[in-house]
Structure 1
Amino acid sequence: MSHRSRETLKMVTAEIFSEFQKYLDEDQDRREEIRQATRDLEQTAREILITVQAVHQKDGLLNLQPLCGEVNAKFKTVQEKFKALADKIPQGQYYRFHDHWRFVVQRLSFLASFVIYLSAEKLASREEVANSLGVELLRENGFHIDLDDYLMGLLQMASELVRIPFRAVNSVTAGQYDRPLKISQFLAELDAGFRLLNLKNDSLRKRFDGLKYDIKKVEEVVYDLSIRNLVSSTTSKGLETEASQSSPVQAGLRHKRLTITQEVAPPRVTCSINYRCDINCLMVFNMAIRSKIAC
């Protein structure tokens, strides 16, 4: 190869790789802009989470509507920031950069679902969550909420809902003894819905596997309230009827749990030193309940 041919080859190689470097620089700059926009969203998500935590404080359950209104106002900022983020994503390259905002979308999806449940006591649809976040529902329409992110948000919401009845003093203070029953029914229906999905062995499946522990925690509170006669039979029958209309399988299981609870419920005894005895009795009766359900 002549000297001139070698020089020509070097020039061509340098030109090709300079184009590669230009592409990499632009890609790095774009990723940095996306990271900054994502950090802004994470900061807003933390602010919303702090606001939502007020529901677990004293009298939090008595001020749900003002709380939900305050949170919904903060979601206006979320919508603006998602619009700014969407403008930085090249057309058709959503999943190329998806890892940057996946977790913040999951958290915001959880917060939106949680607020919708607190205000209307219903399961938030994917469309409702997308509207709260200010993103599209379908992939072909542009920047959208991925189905896995929406489902992960629902499971995170279930874990947060457990804290309401688990910190039963809040429900007792508000006089809302039926709230643990409603949450228990809601989580049971959510669990039944997820069982219809053929989930792969990924992070979503592992998160779903933890749902049964959340349900168990709520059921322990329900058993406690039932044993202590803090839940009226009218409330239990009303929830049972509502469950039978939506899911016969779940209604049957619920009827079995309520029947067994009534069978093993002990008479209420009043004494000055009975607190520790109540705790021990509750453990024994919970074991009896589980053994009967297993049969």
Structure 2
Amino acid sequence: MRNHTLLNEFVLLGIPQTAGLEAVLFATFSSIYLFTLLGNSLILTAIVSSSTLHTPMYFFLGLLSIFDILFPSVTCPKMLFYLSGQSPVISFKGCVTQLFFYHFLGSTEGCLYSVMAYDRFVAICHPLRYMLIMKPGVCVGLVVAAWLVGCLQATILTSFTFQLSYCGPNQVEYFFCDIPAVLPLACTDSALAQKVGSINVGFLALMLLFSVCVSYTRIGIAILRIRSAEGRRKAFSTCSAHLTAILCAYGPVIIIYLQPTPNPLLGAVVQILNNIVSPMLNSLIYSLRNKEVKRSLKRVFQNVLLTVRE
């Protein structure tokens, strides 16, 4: 990639139309980021420390918490760094790395949502065979497949973006290195890279969303067949949190990459919701709507208090 560019750094111009609001944005985003790290760390601790939560469902939920820690960490620290008045410059290699891990973690997390939807489908539609179908080897295999899809997607997108020549200007009109913001700076024709980016991201998002819809359609039919109202309520409660998290995750991606004419301000707002707010909401959604997680968190806090008192 170095042989195809004359630039060795980019300048991140930040969130469009927010000049003069750096202090407010820094306070807001730093609070959200810290809450995201704390909330997802607590969920992960609760799952690891409670033997009753060592099931496929919570295995995937624990992985989701890890992704919700890593995903905002790709963009948020750098954004907070320059919002605090430090240099907005990012090296060329740093820009490549940021773009790669953003799409790698984002695509892998999208695949994980589909895996979790399949897990809920098996649990509700085939409850007697659930542990037989979702064996540890199957769970690990599904996760590895999600990682491979994410890695392949990120490699393709990063390669097509940075095989172009970048000889100036170097000002990225965005708060991190993403394809729609970097490609306009290329000195050579970027039409192919733009098409590959839109098609790949859009196709993967729509395919994963389709798989989720198929799983939840089957789940909905199975729930409607349950005769007792209590049984329907219990079955729906096991899926509602996951379904809410999916809507928060897929909506921004589809808006950003499938909009006919890119809108920098709209794109920035949606990306902030996707990158920073959604990972924080996931910790709230799963902790507030899941009785088992709440009970485990309560035990964790009680053990911490006992340790402090001793």
> Is the TM value for this pair above 0.5?
no
TM-score range, shorter chain: under 0.3
TM-score normalised by the chain length of structure 2 = 0.26
The structure whose RCO (Cα within 8 Å, separation 6+) is larger is 2
TM-score normalised by the chain length of structure 1 = 0.27
